[in-house]
Amino acid sequence: MRNADIERNTNETKIRLRLELDGEGRSTVDTGCGFLDHMMTLFSAHGGFDLELECRGDVNVDYHHTTEDIGIALGQAFSKALGDKRGITRYGFMILPMDETLVLSAVDISGRCYLGFNAVFPTEKIGDFDTELVKEFWYGFARAAAVTLHIKMFDGENSHHIAEAVFKSTARALKTAVSFDESLKGRVPSTKGTL
């Protein structure tokens, strides 16, 4: 079973996270932020990942630390669950429509962290959630998971739709990247022999 349990405790957040890569898209999520709960539930469902997540953060300040630290914890969980990455597809992408919005996510489970993020939100907030935190989440994830991740918005007018398309498309791209490629016969998908 490819799974991981992560506990991350700082002066700003306390996080318990369990990830099962080969799941059914089931989740129990309580981050203290309704919108982030919604995004994490979508991520789990569209990636087919089972996710248990609980966070107690300094939401009296804002949602920055909660959002960033959950991204980091989720990235750590992916890295741990993938182990030596033998036999995985490695690359994945998805171009996802969400009404008027169109977002591309492409990932390389490379062992090298990079985030290319090109999405513009027309509003500063979705409810009480700062839209700039979407990028912070994926930056924390890419860094902790040691993946190359590109997210590019082609069209979009509604901030909620844009954020939702980002999380759904990235989940779908990751679903492909972590899946097994039978033609590799258990080999690491790199001419270096390691990722």
Q: Does the pLDDT of residue 194 top 90, yes or no?
A: no
**Is the model more confident about 79 or about 193?**
79
Give the model's pLDDT for residue 141.
Answer: 98
Identify the three-state secondary structure at position 184.
Answer: helix
Each domain of the chain, given as residue ranges in start order, spans 3-184
Find the helix or strand (DSSP H, E) in which 29 lies: strand 27-30
Give the model's pLDDT for residue 117.
Answer: 98
Mean residue pLDDT across the chain: 97
Hey, what CATH topology would domain 3-184 get?
Ribosomal Protein S5; domain 2 (3.30.230)
For range 9-34, the mean pLDDT: 98
pLDDT band at 133 (very low <50, low <70, confident <90, very high): very high
**Cα four-point dihedral sign 94, 99, 100, 101:** negative
Q: What is the spatial distance between Cα 180 and Cα 89, in angstroms, rounded to a whole number?
A: 6
For range 68-76, the mean pLDDT: 98
Give the model's pLDDT for residue 195.
Answer: 86
- Among 59, 65, 13, 22, which Cα is nearest to 44's? 22
